[in-house]
Amino acid sequence: MSLPPRPKYEGTSRKLLLAFDIGTTFSGVSYSILDPGKVPEIRPVTRYPSQEHVGGDSKIPTVIYYDEAGKPCAIGAETLKDGIEADAEEKNWSKAYWFKLHLRPKTNATMADCDEIPDLPPNKTVVQVFTDYMRYLHQCAKDYISQTHGALFWRSLEDEILYVLTHPNGWEGPQQASMRNAAISAGFIPDTVEGRSRVSFVTEGEASLHFCLSNGLTINSNANDRSGVLIVDAGGGTIDVTAYRKLSDHNFEEIAIPKCYFQGSVYVTSRAGKHFDNVPFLRTRFDRNTKHVFRRDDEAHHIQFASHREHDPALKIRAGRLTVPGRVVATFFEPSISCIIEAIKLQKRTAHFPIESVFLVGGFSASNWLFEKVRNAIQPLGIGVFRPDDHVNKAVSNGAVSFFLDSVVKSRVSRRSYGAICSQLYNPNNITHQLKADQVAFHSITGDRVLPGHFSVILPKNTRVTEIAEYRRSYMMYRSNPADFNTPDDEIVFSYRGTNPNPEWFTDEPDQYTVECTVKADTSMVTPEKNVSFTNGRARTFYQIDFDIVLLFGLTELKAQIAYTEKGVEKRGPATVIYDDDGSTVWDLTRRST
């Protein structure tokens, strides 16, 4: 199972593509030069400031030190210089690390222990920190590409660079909007429609699939066309799990709802830190020297933290080394390993096709202890567990470039139910309507008795969605004055995140609904239909517009449009999608009553 031969670039002019993988602990950039008539190649950026001596390393720490004025004074590999901690303490610098986790969906807050996520530096938002880090990565990419291909090469292409940004499986519209805004602030693109269109997104799970395929991913020899492969991207902050099936034409489709868990390698370090009573030096030593080499729980591990003359048998300190039993170190890993095992089992139960292979990628998967424990637990289930031999540190950034160039995933699974909240005609024979009638029912401008707060599903959860499929539903808008239609109207798309397989009423579980996006539609060009209603013998004139909300979920970024018919011809938009900052909302149940 691998990618088909990559075709020649069919564009008419040379382009530069940059892919940014901003991880919780480490980040990297890969790129491709798109020359008309030539087959594009994927290349990583392998030189960064303060890391030149390493040679060929494709990632740098996702860390920034800020001075008291809020100015970045050390970023990436610069933060690993000898004595940097002492300088930071002496000059009162603030350290931003693991900051990516602050961008997580607020609705997923229960998936991560907020106490384990370090605070942002004073007077800094997560978008501002992202901006500073992205600006630095961009400069690193510019310097590397200019040195490799020439400064003139960069200058000739920099105003039209195409960008791919990666993010965890659980992130959607609001997080994508924040990352795009950071790209604008960092100077990647102008804040225009054309500029924003130059930024695209891909989940880390899908990028990892493309990386595996471009590196000759293989599955069990007894696999058949109906078998699936599970990609487990074990990174610094998150565990991203995505299941795919190969189609007959070298393309792939998702076969289960992708999942994202906050149990990456930083949580192993966090648990170790608590064991060491949050002594920063011991925690850092464990993270850099012990965590990656741990592979047996029957061997003690030693952490050098003081002079060789230091001895304290009572505290298990000999020659300045703290001795930690292997079984204790194993407890630091256990919650993350159990999370991966249970995540694989969940995908196995819920996938539309059987899963026969699991591929572990990402920096955390380089842990032999993690790999062996997962393999020993999963292989008895008849599922093979594998990992690429090398280059796991550039899997996501390289895979993001392959996503843009090859794009083999043609079908995805809807993560939840999506729809709109509207009023529904009251049905006196419906028991649910009867129960709600006394509380919220009212007569609308049409004269009909209606119930507000109905969740009208446009796309149900767990639906396999092709890349080009549209999902739509018809609605009606009423006004007493036709001139009111001249003002652009907001139509809000909600998602339901609860467990009810057939959600119907926002009012039943208001905490389970979140705003996905707001679609601004210009209805001034639509001719409203004039109607007359009669209530208690009195005539009342009102005006009506019929429209559809159209959703496209096949791509990795939600698209929404308003469609309407004018003189027998369907027209769309212009429509603009604006994402809410955190998806939270308080819904006015009378909003659609007019």
Q: Mean pLDDT across the stretch 37-41?
A: 96
CB 6 within 8 A of CB 35: no
Number of other CB atoms surrounding residue 234 within 10 Å: 30
pLDDT at 466: 85
Alpha-carbon torsion (201, 343, 114, 324), positive or negative: negative
End-to-end CA distance of the chain: 56
Pick the residue with more confidence: 573 or 462?
A: 462
**Tokens encoding 455:** 């969740």
Spatial contact of 358 and 385, defined as CB atoms under 8 Å apart: yes
Average pLDDT over residues 474-483: 90
Considering only CA atoms, which of 295, 152, 206 is closest in space to residue 19?
Answer: 206
The whole-number pLDDT of residue 157 equals 97
Confidence of residue 281 (pLDDT cuts 50, 70, 90): confident
Helix (H, G, I), strand (E, B) or coil at 527: coil
* Residues facing 323 on adjacent strands: 302
Q: What is the pLDDT of residues 431-442, one digit of tens each?
A: 989 888 877 788
**Contact 179/163 with Cβ under 8 angstroms?**
no
d(CA 67, CA 137): 19
Kindly report the pTM of this predicted structure: 0.85
Task: Enumerate residues 6+ apart whose C-beta is below 8 A from 364.
Answer: 234, 235, 236, 239, 264, 265, 336, 370
pLDDT band at 393 (very low <50, low <70, confident <90, very high): low
Q: How far is 199 from 212, CA to CA, in rounded Å?
A: 23
Return the structure tokens found at 555: 């791509």
Which of 173, 182, 84 is CA-nearest to residue 133? 182
Question: Encoding tokens for residue 560?
Answer: 């929404």
pLDDT per position as a tens digit, 294-333: 999 999 888 876 555 555 565 556 656 788 899 999 999 9
Rounded CA-CA distance 232/342 in Å is: 12
Alpha helices in 468-520 (DSSP H): none
What pLDDT is stored for residue 140 in this prediction?
97
- 215-231 confidence digits (pLDDT tens): 776 644 344 556 799 99
Q: For the packed helices 326-350 and 265-275, what is the interaxial angle rounded to 10 degrees?
A: 150
Nearest to 261 by CA among 371, 111, 105: 111
pLDDT of 113 above 70: no
Q: pLDDT tens, 238-268?
A: 999 999 998 877 789 999 999 999 999 999 9
382 near 256, Cβ under 8 Å?
A: no
Residue 424 burial class via C-beta count within 10 angstroms: exposed 0-12, middle 13-18, buried 19 and up: middle
Q: What are the distances in angstroms from CA 173 to CA 77, 552, 561?
A: 31, 13, 15
Q: pLDDT-based confidence at 79, cuts 50/70/90?
A: very high
Q: Name the pairing type of β-strands 15-22 and 162-167.
A: parallel
Cα–Cα distance, 310 to 304 (Å, whole number): 11
Please tell me the number of Cα atoms within 13 Å of 409 on its side-chain side.
31
Interatomic CA distance for residues 67 and 92, integer angstroms: 7
539 CB burial (10 A radius; 0-12, 13-18, 19+): exposed
CA distances from 542 to 363, 410, 532 (A): 62, 45, 6
Region of 132 on the Ramachandran plot (φ > 0 left; ψ -120 to 50 alpha; else beta):
alpha
Nearest-angstrom CA–CA distance, 187 and 459: 36
- Mind listing the pLDDT tens digit for each residue in 6-35? 999 999 999 999 999 999 999 999 999 999
Q: Whose CA is closest to 130, among 68, 188, 193?
A: 188
Strand extents, DSSP E, 213-332: 228-234, 239-246, 252-254, 259-261, 301-304, 317-318, 321-324
| pLDDT tens figures, 332-382 | 999 999 999 999 999 999 999 999 999 999 889 989 999 999 999 999 999
Average pLDDT, the chain: 86
Q: pLDDT > 90: what percent of the chain?
A: 55
Q: Per-residue pLDDT for 453 more than 60?
A: yes
> Where would I find the H helices in 542-594?
none
Of 77-81, 199-203, 391-395, 458-462, the range with the lowest mean pLDDT is 391-395
The fraction of the chain above a pLDDT of 70, given in percent, is 87
Q: Are 352 and 255 in contact (CB under 8 A)?
A: yes
Half-sphere exposure of 322 (CA within 13 A, CB side): 17
